[in-house]
């Protein structure tokens, strides 16, 4: 059995890790780390775990934890892991970090967008960006995995094949993204109160959202050059889910014709046809957040707009599963040579 520890086990992403790993055949959770609930019964905090989890919460002591487990999940705020990670810890344990500390390779970009001084930039070159469908082989050999963000997972996977194949101009990419309230975390914030969110839709962090450079860096790797995208997130009054609608100009062929829907579909099939967690929807069917809720699936669809010579790309996922904890477990499965789908084949919830 793989021994796992979770730091930040009482946040939404941490709780989702507990839910998924509790049903994982090859894992035993040894440590429920929580700075706010030390010595409290985990099941008293999350009553859905009543008679399922008997452990109490422990301090966020990553050094001690690294001596007891095989893998650590850090579902923590930005800056936590970067301030503590060292060679001694990494020599003993594999780490899947759900924060942004090791997602962005350029230190200056991370520090600008997150307003933090990076505590351990020496590990940025080693950390593997944990988007399994793209970096699978690199993940298998890693010690440190940077689990992607929720908006970024949906945005990157939806656009990646067409950018990689040069079928769209990445500098024209505009991403309109919408997220359920759980994406903002479990902390008490006025903007996330029921009366503030209910019966309301709002844009936020316009032109300043921290996932923007992550999207640009990863899609820039696909384009083999630096790119600039427009990314605008919105908050939707629902618990879970992300839907992105993206727009980009198609690249015409030598005869100045636009690529057909069938050609674009063939590209998606080539990249994702064998991917268990990516579902390519039939022509004319648009992704909906409710059809992926509670699951590790990403639903992707697209439509060509011949009038504007653009393509409309659409993707949907559960921000707490494929956008956080599910993807983290998928990464762990790769790290330990397990079936990539182990613990992750739950059918989406409806209603």
Residues designated as active site:
150
Q: Enumerate helices (H) and strands (E) in the chain, giving the number of each.
A: 12, 13
For residue 17, the cross-strand partners are: none
Contact 151, 232 (CB under 8 A): no
Burial (CB count <10 Å: 0-12, 13-18, 19+), residue 193: exposed
Phi, psi at 337, each rounded to 5°: 70, 25
Could you tell me which residues come within 8 angstroms of residue 141 by beta carbon, excluding any fewer than 6 positions away? none
State yes or no: cis peptide before 135, omega within 30 of 0.
no
Q: How far is CA 150 from CA 215, 288, 347, in A?
A: 11, 16, 20
**Nearest Cα to 99, choosing from 56, 62, 68, 67?**
62
Phi, psi at 193, each rounded to 5°: -65, 155
**Nearest Cα to 16, choosing from 259, 186, 204, 245?**
186
For residue 244, the cross-strand partners are: 177, 315
C-beta neighbour count of 146 within 10 angstroms? 28
Torsion, Cα of 169, 315, 312, 182 (10° steps): -100
The C-alpha atoms of residue 188 and residue 284 are separated, in whole angstroms, by 40
The C-alpha atoms of residue 328 and residue 92 are separated, in whole angstroms, by 19
**Nearest Cα to 173, choosing from 190, 185, 194, 155?**
155
Classify each residue of 89-128 as buried b or exposed e, where b means 16 or more C-beta atoms within 10 Å of its C-beta: bbebbbbbbbbbbbbbeeeeebeebbebebbbbebbeebb
Q: At what angle do helices 212-223 and 107-114 cross, to 10 degrees?
A: 150
């Amino acid at each position: 059995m793989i021994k796992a520890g979770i730091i930040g086990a009482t946040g939404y992403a941490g709780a989702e890790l507990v839910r998924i790993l509790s049903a994982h055949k090859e894992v035993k959770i040894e440590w429920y780390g929580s700075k706010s609930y030390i010595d409290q019964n985990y099941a008293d905090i999350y009553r859905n775990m009543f008679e399922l989890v008997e452990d109490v919460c422990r301090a966020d002591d990553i050094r001690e934890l690294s001596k007891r487990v095989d893998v650590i999940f850090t579902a923590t705020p930005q800056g936590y892991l970067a301030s503590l990670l060292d060679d001694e810890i990494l020599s003993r344990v594999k780490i899947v970090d759900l924060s942004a500390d090791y997602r962005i390779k350029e230190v200056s970009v991370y520090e600008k967008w997150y307003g933090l001084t990076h505590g351990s930039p020496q590990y940025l070159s080693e950390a593997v960006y944990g988007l399994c469908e793209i970096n699978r082989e690199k993940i298998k050999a890693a010690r440190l995995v940077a689990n992607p963000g929720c908006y970024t997972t949906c945005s990157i996977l939806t656009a990646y094949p067409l950018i990689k194949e040069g079928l769209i101009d990445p500098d024209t990419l505009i991403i309109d993204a919408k997220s359920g309230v759980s994406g903002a975390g479990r902390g008490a914030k006025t903007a996330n109160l029921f009366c503030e969110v209910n019966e309301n839709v709002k844009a936020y962090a316009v032109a300043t959202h921290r996932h923007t450079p992550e999207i640009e860096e990863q899609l820039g790797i696909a384009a083999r050059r630096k790119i600039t995208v427009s990314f605008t997130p919105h908050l939707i009054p629902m618990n879970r889910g992300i839907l992105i609608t993206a727009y980009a100009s198609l690249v015409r062929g030598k005869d100045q014709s636009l690529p057909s829907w069938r050609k674009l579909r063939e590209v998606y099939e080539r990249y994702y046809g064998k991917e268990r967690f990516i579902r390519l929807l039939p022509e004319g069917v648009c992704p909906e957040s409710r059809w992926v809720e509670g699951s590790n699936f990403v639903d992707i669809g697209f439509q060509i707009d011949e009038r504007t010579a653009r393509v409309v790309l659409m993707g949907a996922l559960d921000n707490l599963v494929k956008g956080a904890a599910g993807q983290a477990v998928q990464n762990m499965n790769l790290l330990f040579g397990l079936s990539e789908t182990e613990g992750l084949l739950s059918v989406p919830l409806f209603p």
